[in-house]
Amino acid sequence: MNYERGPQPNVKHEWDGVYRFGIRRSMCRLIGFYSAPDKSAFVAVDGFTKRKQKLSKKERNRIDEVARVKKENDWVKRHESE
């Protein structure tokens, strides 16, 4: 959650509960969602490198697919934290 605060946050909300994790000065994005209400766990479902500042139709469709995964709970946790 600390990554959402500050003058240049690394995590920003896209839509439908989907967030993107971005690296400053890079067009690389990890797309996912928080799996816990307290935002203690982030599930990265997709990643891509943007070609332009604005999202393309293909990139928006990928974010929509991540929203579908979240909405339908179509993901599985493989390992428990230690």
On average, the pLDDT of the chain sits at 86
Instruction: Give the strand pairing for 19-22 and 11-13.
Output: antiparallel
Q: Which whole number is the average pLDDT over 27-34? A: 93
**Residue 6 in this model has a pLDDT that exceeds 80:** no
* Chain centre to alpha carbon of residue 31: 3
**Residue 26 in this model has a pLDDT that exceeds 80:** yes
Q: What is the Cα Rg of the chain in Å? A: 13
